[in-house]
């Protein structure tokens, strides 16, 4: 009779995966209190001055709550003219700065990458030069031009750029001030896109260079263009030094001019301008997100018969 050989007992199933260290588990489970503290301090830093400004505009000692500072904004003398002037200057500055920077940066990116440090230094110079020094030089040129060029056609040019209804000299000045912000925004967008491959592919298909810039490169830079436009808009709406010293009255100068006689109205207008800037920021960011999503959702072209045969 065959002997029965006892079978070996089954080994207990154990988890062979290494256990996570106890300290690491506790560190992950521990709530990040410092994040809430930082966000709370940031909220207090930004919201408390706004809340104090709002209370100042609606509360009059001895009279209670009154919203007259807000209801009288539209009827205030010079409000609509100064706001429309600032918005027009901002639009012209955005167009001029983008027309100057986009073709130059694309050309440098494609054909002359060694010139990129030079262009970067030139675009960053407005951060080093104080606005008071720049406006001093502008004032000297504007005074020298009509005196020495009165018998030349350039005399009318000096008069035209100083037109009070739409001072082009402010557009040129704001374009110089906005160059660092526009350059940084566009440079970040160009670094995220393979411009060389896009241009070579479009050129091989027979597209001209203006068509490549407008229909191939610009759609891929819409988020960067929206960011540059918003930064320029915020700069123009809040700039005071150059406009005041040159004797013009856009929105920021108008707010300061009425602060002495109508303090509550000036603070209410400042809050309103901040709200307008936030709304425009949301509109530009939404526009950039939608266009970027639309560009990524474009279907690939159908294959040609020749490529199918191959």
Please report which confidence band the pLDDT of residue 304 belongs to, taking 50, 70 and 90 as the band edges: very low
Q: What is the pLDDT of residue 98?
A: 93
In 3D, which of 85, 22, 112 has the Cα closest to residue 249?
85
Average pLDDT over residues 73-82: 83
The more confident residue out of 309 and 83 is 83
The more confident residue out of 176 and 284 is 176
pLDDT at residue 42 greater than cutoff 60 = yes
In 3D, which of 133, 147, 116 has the Cα closest to residue 177?
133
Residue 59 host element (H or E): strand 59-60
Please report which confidence band the pLDDT of residue 18 belongs to, taking 50, 70 and 90 as the band edges: low
Tell me the pLDDT tens digit for each residue of 222-281: 888 888 988 898 899 888 989 999 989 998 898 888 877 777 888 888 888 888 778 877
pLDDT at residue 11 greater than cutoff 70 = no
The distance from CA 31 to its chain's CA centroid, rounded to whole angstroms, is: 35
The more confident residue out of 292 and 73 is 73
Which of 63-67, 201-205, 225-229 has the least mean pLDDT?
63-67
**CB 173, CB 134: distance < 8 Å:** yes
Give Cβ neighbours of residue 224 (< 8 Å, ≥ 6 apart): 185, 186, 188, 189, 190
Task: Domains for the chain: give ranges and CATH numbers.
Answer: 71-292 (1.10.3720.10)
Q: What is the pLDDT of residue 289?
A: 59
Alpha-carbon dihedral angle through residues 37, 41, 47, 50, given to the nearest 10 degrees: 170
Q: How many angstroms separate the CA atoms of 215 and 201, rounded?
A: 13
Half-sphere exposure of 15 (CA within 13 A, CB side): 4
């Amino acid at each position: 009779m065959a002997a029965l050989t006892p079978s070996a007992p089954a080994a207990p199933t154990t988890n062979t995966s290494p256990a996570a260290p106890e300290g690491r588990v506790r560190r992950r489970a521990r709530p990040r209190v410092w994040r809430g503290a930082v966000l709370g301090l940031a909220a207090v830093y930004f919201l408390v001055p706004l809340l104090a400004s709002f209370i100042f505009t609606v509360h009059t000692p001895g009279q209670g709550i009154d919203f007259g500072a807000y209801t009288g904004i539209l009827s205030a003398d010079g409000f609509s003219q100064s706001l429309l002037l600032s918005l027009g200057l901002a639009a012209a500055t955005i167009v001029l700065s983008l027309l100057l920077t986009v073709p130059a940066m694309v050309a440098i990116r494609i054909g002359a990458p060694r010139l990129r440090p030079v262009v970067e230094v030139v675009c960053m110079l407005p951060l080093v030069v104080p606005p008071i020094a720049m406006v001093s030089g502008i004032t000297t040129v504007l005074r020298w031009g009509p005196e020495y060029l009165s018998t030349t056609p350039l005399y009318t040019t000096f008069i035209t750029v100083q037109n009070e209804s739409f001072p082009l000299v402010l557009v040129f000045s704001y374009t110089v001030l906005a160059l660092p912000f526009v350059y940084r925004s566009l440079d970040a967008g160009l670094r995220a896109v393979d411009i060389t491959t896009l241009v070579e592919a479009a050129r091989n298909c027979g597209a001209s260079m203006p068509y490549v810039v407008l229909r191939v490169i610009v759609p891929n830079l819409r988020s960067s263009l929206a960011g540059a436009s918003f930064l320029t808009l915020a700069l123009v709406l809040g700039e005071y030094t150059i406009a005041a010293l040159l004797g013009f009255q856009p929105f920021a100068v108008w707010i300061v001019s009425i602060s002495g006689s109508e303090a509550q109205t000036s603070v209410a207008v400042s809050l309103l301008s901040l709200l307008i800037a936030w709304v425009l920021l949301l509109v530009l960011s939404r526009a950039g997100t939608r266009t970027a999503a639309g560009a990524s959702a474009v279907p690939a072209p159908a294959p040609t018969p020749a490529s199918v045969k191959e």
